[in-house]
Amino acid sequence: MSLSTWYHVTFDDEKVYRETNPPNGEGWKDELYWKDIIRVCFKIGADLFDNDEIYIFTDKREESYLIPTMADGGADLWGEIVNRELFDADLAIKLATGLEGSHCWPEGK
């Protein structure tokens, strides 16, 4: 079963919402406010079949929120993060054109 069938991410003007219903486990849901985001990291998958991952850090908790780009709504969320200038657009373009590894914005934080 593909990730996009059980991991869903949506957003509106105020919040990002995650909801999961994994086939072999218990589902959960949570949400975070856009205004609380202090840093975003993007990790490139190991190959074309591996998930790229978005890590969102807020000022409300130490651990990040992990969102796979292959989740239902993951790619749309990534576009919105860039549109809201929570991740540098030039760096996002470099990631899309072959830059490897993990990259965060703002850098050096």
CATH of the domain at 90: 2.30.29
Total domains, the chain: 1
CB distance 37 to 105 below 8 Å? no
Two tokens, residue 39: 């840093």
Is 30 a member of any domain?
yes
Q: Across the strands, what pairs with 30? A: 18
pLDDT in tens, 58-67: 999 999 999 9
- The CA distances from residue 69 to 60, 89, 108, 109, in Å, are 23, 17, 23, 23
Is 29 a member of any domain?
yes
The range of the structural domain enclosing residue 63 comes to 3-98
pLDDT in tens, 41-86: 999 987 666 789 999 999 999 999 999 999 999 999 999 999 999 9
Is 109 a member of any domain?
no
Q: How many CA atoms lie within 13 A of 96 on its CB side?
A: 11
Is 22 a member of any domain?
yes
Is 103 a member of any domain?
no
pLDDT in tens, 8-21: 999 999 999 999 99
Return phi, psi of residue 21, to 5°. -140, 70
Please tell me the pTM assigned to this model: 0.92
Is 108 a member of any domain?
no
Is 107 a member of any domain?
no
